[in-house]
Amino acid sequence: MRHFKVCIVMALLLSLAGCSNETPEQALMQTYASRVANVLKEDYQWQQPEPIPPLPPQRLRLQTIPDLNEGLIDVLDLAKCDLLPLIASRNSSLGKLARPSQRLVYEIQFFNLISSCLPLIEKAPSVEAELKERIYNIYNIKKRNLPVIFWNALYTGQEIEASMAVNQSPLPLLQTDHSAALSALNSLSFITTSTLQNNIDFDTSSLSQIEQYYEDIYHAPLGAPLLKSLLLLEVTMNNVSQLINTRLERRPMCFSSMQNPQANILKNVFIEYYARQIQPYMAYVHRTGEQWFSIHSKTLALLPIPHEIAPYAQQAFITNSKTSIWERYINARDRHTQAWQRVLKQCNLMPSQPN
């Protein structure tokens, strides 16, 4: 019966949202806050969530990679390193037209091959010292370039632009599956960390799936919808906690822990709107956001973020920042929880206590 009631409310919200610019998610949040305000008899005006920050243009995100003229490598005797076939493939007409994902694969394969080659040439008496020096020089250049190569591959392409496009709605009330996009992001993060941290157990066979990872991210945009949901929850939680705290500062809801009709109505609003409708949505957004920010924070810890992009990255990708949208949501959630605990305890209406 309760599930049926929730479905009816969801259907009404969807129909009302269709008649305005409001999304069903915003309609639910506004209804929740207004119900709390009505019970508390507090003046209330819905505060719109702030817009998500736009992804900076590619010209600011794209970093220059110092050039290494690999055509010169052809004159080196690198047969033991197995590099010449890879370089030949890269320099072919098809190789020059390769997608960014395939260029990333090439750079990873090149680095892995030359890394494994270094111990071999060091022990080979037939390899001249001058040749060893040139190979080491190529290795060092590639190693220095790799973090920038990964940054460009992950944060300057059409995939991140599709994910962060601002003209998208929040995550829907009717929960959808984002496992493919999150799994793709996690796999790319694993490839990044394994390569940059020289993980000897890294299975390079996963490189064959990179194209699919990029497609999963592109076809299931997640970043902007997630950020919009977090900002919507933030403003809702802040609105409601402010309403409750303002009311309690003006006059207690209950005296001597004695319940009253107004307090019981308030608890019903808490149960019907927050516990049964918003809390499941918030748990869904929280799970998604926790994975999103964890993956990006881990990846970006190893990459050089351009100075112009740092403020955006701190909001949209990183957790340990004062401006992080994730941290702002967490703080709002905690204030909301504390406000409800305050009023429900005052009226002896905590869920674990008998009415």
In whole angstroms, give the CA distance from residue 344 to residue 341: 5
> Backbone phi, then psi, for 57, in 5-degree steps?
-60, 155
Tokens encoding 175: 């929960």
Torsion over CA: 295, 298, 300, 303 (sign): negative
In whole angstroms, give the CA distance from residue 97 to residue 280: 46
Helix (H, G, I), strand (E, B) or coil at 156: coil
Per-residue pLDDT for the chain (355 aa), expressed as one digit of tens each? Answer: 444 444 444 444 444 444 457 899 999 999 999 999 999 999 989 989 999 999 999 999 999 987 665 555 544 556 667 787 887 777 765 555 667 788 899 899 989 888 888 888 888 777 778 878 888 888 898 899 999 999 999 999 999 999 999 999 999 999 889 999 999 999 999 999 999 988 767 777 889 999 999 999 999 999 999 999 999 999 999 999 999 999 999 999 999 989 999 999 999 999 999 999 999 999 999 999 999 999 999 999 999 999 999 999 999 999 989 999 999 999 999 999 999 999 999 999 987 644 4
Residues in the chain: 355
Helix (H, G, I), strand (E, B) or coil at 26: helix
Contact 127, 121 (CB under 8 A): yes
In 10 A of CB 223, how many CB atoms? 23
Helix (H, G, I), strand (E, B) or coil at 7: helix
Give me the residue label for tokens 């998500």: 52
In 10 A of CB 155, how many CB atoms? 26
Q: In whole angstroms, how far apart are CA 54 and each of 49, 57, 161, 243, 313?
A: 15, 9, 10, 31, 11
Give me the residue label for tokens 């019966």: 1
